[in-house]
């Protein structure tokens, strides 16, 4: 299945038959590891390290072009290379200049990494109102509630594209259209979970900013990610970290420093530090392999694995806490009425080599196109020891 779904270059470099925590940090693809190893060898053997770094940094333009291509962005869209969604969201909260009396709108389904910077901003600026869009029982944004929250004062609307707990694909296109009708707010979409799990076309989303992490479904390195940003945002943000990469400090004729900086705009506001070029070479290789594998085919394989998991987990006596109305995307939370603390199940599964996520009330199991039917069956077989017995399920059905 792995080779058919993603080809040898995009398949994980390790055996993932018992790995079911893809929504956290996924294994690297073989293409990613090969590229990073090649980069390290080239850097170690180069006769002039500064020249090697300069050439490698200049070559990042090809990576930016690949990101635009894979995620359906026009050539004039800025691409910034960042370490994580948390970093990018934090930079935006500090870099955007919001007028007094503004409101920031987030959603109840968002990941803390997306929302925390806006909580911080509204905490230090009492003149800015933080508003939260509620979700329906199925976990989808309540757009009727959003209509009541988004108005002429709204400066930022931030929302997760695919939720990290239940795999709900949110109607961000509709949210963006609603925002455009009611305000001039910037729309920021967190694609940490959607990038690599579902096909993403930035231009079709209509948002102003798309944030993504490479370490999940894209099988890229830790500490890599990217930002897609429309040109209308370019002159509304200011750098947070200053360096010669994004700003120029000038001197007077007498050699004394001038006050103030000449700052670059756009993606440069995110890139004050020299990036991890070795990791970015791995990201580039994994993106190329993902593109060759086909985003639609990968998403279809992932949905098929998710359906198998849902069926077998149900037979094992577990119930899904939320079944997204748009279909399964590979992230699901399950619970057993027989267990008070589901972390106990996680610990037992871990002792058998299975990796899942858990809280007291639930198990979160996330699959990828590379999850196997045999692995899913083995997982559910071990989980059944904690599930509702068939006799009880039959009496309560």
| pTM beyond 0.85, yes or no | yes
Closest CA to 2 of 294, 372, 265: 372
Query: Beta strand pairing status for 247-248 and 319-320?
Result: unpaired
Residues 306-320 pLDDT 10s? 999 999 999 999 999
Looking at the structure, give the CATH architecture of the domain made up of residues 30-291. 3-Layer(aba) Sandwich (3.40)
* pLDDT above 90 (res 2): no
Confidence of residue 145 (pLDDT cuts 50, 70, 90): very high
In this predicted structure, what is the pLDDT of residue 323?
85
Q: Give percent of the chain above pLDDT 70.
A: 96
Domain boundaries, the chain: 2-28+294-387, 30-291
Confidence of residue 264 (pLDDT cuts 50, 70, 90): confident
Nearby residues of 99 by Cβ (< 8 Å), 6 or more positions away? 155
2-28+294-387 under CATH 3.40.50.720, yes or no: no
Structural contact between residues 200 and 207, judged by C-beta atoms closer than 8 angstroms = no
Closest CA to 257 of 267, 242, 241: 242
Torsion region of 332: left, alpha or beta (phi above 0 gives left; psi -120 to 50 gives alpha): beta
- Taken as a whole, the chain contains a residue count of 397
In this predicted structure, what is the pLDDT of residue 392?
52
């Amino acid at each position: 299945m792995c080779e058919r779904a993603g080809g040898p270059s995009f398949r994980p470099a390790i055996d993932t038959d018992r790995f079911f925590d893809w929504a956290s940090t996924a294994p690297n693809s073989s293409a990613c590891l090969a590229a990073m190893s090649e980069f390290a060898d080239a850097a170690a053997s180069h006769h002039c390290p500064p020249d090697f770094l300069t050439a490698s940094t200049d070559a990042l333009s090809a990576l930016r072009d690949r990101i635009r291509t894979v995620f359906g962005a026009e050539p004039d869209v800025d691409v910034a290379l960042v370490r994580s969604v948390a970093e990018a969201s934090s930079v935006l909260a500090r870099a955007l200049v919001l007028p007094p009396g503004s409101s920031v709108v987030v959603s109840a389904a968002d990941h803390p990494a997306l929302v925390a910077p806006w909580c911080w901003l509204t905490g230090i600026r009492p003149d800015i109102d933080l508003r939260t869009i509620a979700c329906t029982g199925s976990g989808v944004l309540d757009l009727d509630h959003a209509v009541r929250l988004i108005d002429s004062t709204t400066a930022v609307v931030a929302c997760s594209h695919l939720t990290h707990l239940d795999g709900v694909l949110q109607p961000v296109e509709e949210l963006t259209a609603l925002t455009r009708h009611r305000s001039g707010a910037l729309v920021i979409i967190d694609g940490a979970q959607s990038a690599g799990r579902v096909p993403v076309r930035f231009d079709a989303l209509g948002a102003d900013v798309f944030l993504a992490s490479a370490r999940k479904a894209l099988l890229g390195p830790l500490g890599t990610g990217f930002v897609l940003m429309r040109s209308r945002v370019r002159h509304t943000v200011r750098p947070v970290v200053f360096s010669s990469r994004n700003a120029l400090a000038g001197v007077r004729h007498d050699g004394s420093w001038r006050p103030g900086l000449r700052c670059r705009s756009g993606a440069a506001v995110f890139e004050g530090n020299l990036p991890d070029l070795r990791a970015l070479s791995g990201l580039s290789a994994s993106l190329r392999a993902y593109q060759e594998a086909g985003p639609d085919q990968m998403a279809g394989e992932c949905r098929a694995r998710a359906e198998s998991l849902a069926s077998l987990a149900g037979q094992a006596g577990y119930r899904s806490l939320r079944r997204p109305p748009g279909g399964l995307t590979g992230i699901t939370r399950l619970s057993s009425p027989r267990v008070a603390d589901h972390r106990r199940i996680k610990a037992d599964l871990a002792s058998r080599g299975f990796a899942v996520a858990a809280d007291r009330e639930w198990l979160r199991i996330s699959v990828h196109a590379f999850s196997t039917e045999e692995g899913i069956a083995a997982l559910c077989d071990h989980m059944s020891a904690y599930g509702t017995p068939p006799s009880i399920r039959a009496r309560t059905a």
